[in-house]
Amino acid sequence: MRQYRMEALPARQRSPTERWLAVAGLPLAFAAFVAFGFVWTPQWLIVADPGALSDSAASVFEQVGSEEFLRRNRFMLAVFVAAIILWTTVALPNYLVSLIVIITLVLTGVLPEREAYAQLGHPIMWLNIMSFILASMLVKTGLATRFTLWFLVRFGKRASSVFLSFIVINVTLSAFISATTAKAAILLPVFMVIAAIYGAPRDGSHSNFGRSVVLQNLLNINLGAGCFVTGSGANLLAAALISGAIAGNVYFADWMIAMFPTMVGLMLLGYILAMRVYFPLDENERTPQIEGGLERLREEYAALGPVAWSEVRAGAIFIAILALWATDRWHGVSATAVAFVGGIVALLPRVGIVTWNDVDIPWHLMLFSAGAYCLGAAFAQTGMPNLGVSAFFNAVGFDEQTPFWVLYLLLTAVMTYSALLSQSKTMRAMIFVPIAIGTAEHFGHSVISLALPVAFLIEHVYVLPFNSKPAALLFETDRYSLGDAFRYGFTMMTLGWLAVIVMGETWFRFLGITPDGVFF
């Protein structure tokens, strides 16, 4: 298993197109900033009706006047477009782009310093930090590894049970680990060993077992994150944006009840399609091919020794946190506050399980998130999503009589298939969730009815290697081709979109997400 550790994999080389984009990114971003900030003013930025703005943007409009409001919106658009270019082309590291975004929004007067700098203190940022502390507790105690190995030793005697086991493992880890890359790093050594045990070659050729075990895990790593609002930072950002728009909360329980059955159903469907359609197994791939292969996993499991007291305490803390998260609608304590208490308990001297030096917090991701939240705060102050949505729908002829289902299909389709072109779930959340909020407000629908289904589609980022960090990481295993990933991934992406449509008319309507009488 040590041969397949994340740090042992070779560094991914950029393709010629990616290298060209990285070189062109800086001048393109600078040109876009100058064009929108100083040269050209899109007509739709001019506010004709302040009543169409969100409450926070309308308040700013009244305070500063129409000319200053337009100037801020011009720079808001300039910063936003430049950031999108830099993040998409990876011309600079994403955390460095976020630092540039924050200070530029301050210097151009779009956001006051106090609000811009406060985004690193956003409640969702603290939830991210506490989640990484708790995830580090899982890693240090070895509880995640023990659970994974135990499950595979117990149920890994045939190929079908191996794949179903990984569904259970991915969903379980997603409840506690809010980073899909971390889950991929934990599971990669395990399923690579399983692939070798079942005869997957290591000479660059591809077997259907090797294709299936990696691509199904890539799918399940992402879909598992979609089961829970804490499953990824992008989910948390989307929930924060929606909560701000409705002046309420998107609870952990709300998200889980809506998406757990949806995502688990898609995982099972992905298993069936992989096994029956895309990567059917030969008879000799259905059982272990290496003599004593599973025995090696048993040895690894046995080498962990008896369950340590630290593992018991870590498990107890996680079960308590999950129980409190799942019941947050009833007791009213936020997910952030619950994670805070759990993190403090885990770090307590003599009582806790980890020290600060044991904690692995990816601060570059924290800085990236702070920049994304800063742009979200600027969106709220400038009302730019509302203006853009109004201009777009007026241009295409949509009016107040446009059926709800047209808006629902359009927004969810754009969110789903935008993942084919994106490298960041956080950026997609930051772009399309405010658009969905603005659309709902423009057409008089509840924000939840459009914004939440859009947010539910964040995690469909498994088609192409550059669509997410786990996809880039697992592509380096050389167990499948780009064509394999696209055929299987695009099918599952489309089924994911269709699932949200079907759920919109059934399960989401029952839960009160889709209002009665406004769908088909």
- Where are the domains positioned within the chain? 1-117
* Highest mean pLDDT pick, 88-102, 233-247, 260-274, 305-319: 260-274
Using alpha carbons, select from 389, 324, 315 the residue that is nearest to residue 353: 315
- Predicted pLDDT at 37: 92
* Structure-token pair, residue 254: 């709300």
Mean pLDDT of the chain: 82
Residue 111 Cα distances to 15, 50, 218, 395, angstroms: 38, 19, 39, 30
- In terms of C-beta distances under 8 Å and separation of at least 24 residues, what long-range contacts does 324-331 make, across chains too? 325/228, 325/230, 325/252, 325/253, 326/252, 326/253, 326/256, 327/253, 328/251, 328/252, 328/253, 329/251, 329/253, 329/254, 330/253
Residue 5 has pLDDT above 60, yes or no: no
Using alpha carbons, select from 201, 190, 158 the residue that is nearest to residue 288: 158
Using alpha carbons, select from 90, 96, 10 the residue that is nearest to residue 363: 96
Residue 395 has pLDDT above 80, yes or no: no
pLDDT tens digit sequence for 412-421: 999 999 888 7
- Predicted pLDDT at 451: 93
* % pLDDT > 70, the chain: 91
Residue 346 has pLDDT above 50, yes or no: yes
Residue 223 has pLDDT above 90, yes or no: yes
Residue 457 has pLDDT above 70, yes or no: yes
* Structure-token pair, residue 166: 């990984």
- Predicted pLDDT at 519: 54
* % pLDDT > 90, the chain: 24
- Least confident interval from 61-75, 106-120, 497-511: 106-120
Identify whether the C-beta of residue 250 lies closer than 8 Å to the C-beta of residue 453.
no
* Neighbour count for residue 260 (Cβ, 10 Å): 17
Look at 312 and 299; give whichever has higher pLDDT: 312
For 463, which DSSP code?
A: S
For residues 121-142, average pLDDT: 77
